[in-house]
């Protein structure tokens, strides 16, 4: 089956620094990738959608300058949290989809737990 990986699985960074999270599709072409954020004991909230080679589309209320998304290839998307603050601490989950398959199935990565101190 389709596998999506995320790296790192956990990261701790200091307030004011930036951190990059990678999302890779391992055995399929991810024409579309999604980034979700999940606060403790809450649901997944979509942050942005990106298509390979295009600018990401951000959901309302998500700061595009703070959460930089790059979908430079069909197997890799990155989310960079710039100037991180403690309130950015969350569980970030990516998902990927191969639109050429026609089933519109999203395959989820294992998530990255970000802690900003």
The 74-103 site mask, x for binding another protein (CB under 8 A), equals -----------------x-x-----x---x
Q: Residues 22, 89, 108, 115: which binds another protein (CB under 8 A)?
A: 108
Q: Which residues of 38-64 are buried (b: 16+ CB within 10 A; e: fewer)?
A: eeeeeeeeebbbbebeeebebeeebee
Tell me, rounded to whole angstroms, the distance of Cα 48 from its chain centroid.
8
- Interface size with another protein, residues (CB under 8 A): 22
Q: Residues 25, 49, 75, 77: which binds another protein (CB under 8 A)?
A: 49
Q: How far is CA 32 from CA 12, 41, 107, 115, in A?
A: 28, 27, 11, 27
Residue list 8-37, contact with another protein (CB under 8 A): 34
The residues of the shown chain that bind another protein, judged by CB under 8 A, are: 34, 41-46, 49, 59, 91, 93, 99, 103-111, 113
């Amino acid at each position: 089956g389709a596998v999506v990986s995320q790296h790192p699985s956990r990261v701790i960074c200091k307030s004011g620094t930036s951190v990059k999270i990678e999302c890779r599709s391992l055995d399929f072409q991810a024409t579309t990738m999604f980034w979700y954020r999940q606060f403790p004991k809450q649901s997944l909230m979509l942050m942005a959608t990106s298509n390979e080679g295009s600018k990401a589309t951000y959901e309302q209320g998500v700061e595009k300058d703070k959460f930089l998304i790059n979908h430079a290839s069909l197997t890799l998307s990155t989310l960079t949290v710039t100037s991180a603050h403690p309130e950015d601490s969350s569980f970030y989950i990516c998902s990927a989809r191969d639109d050429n398959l026609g089933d519109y199935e999203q395959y989820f990565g294992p998530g990255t737990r970000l802690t900003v101190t």
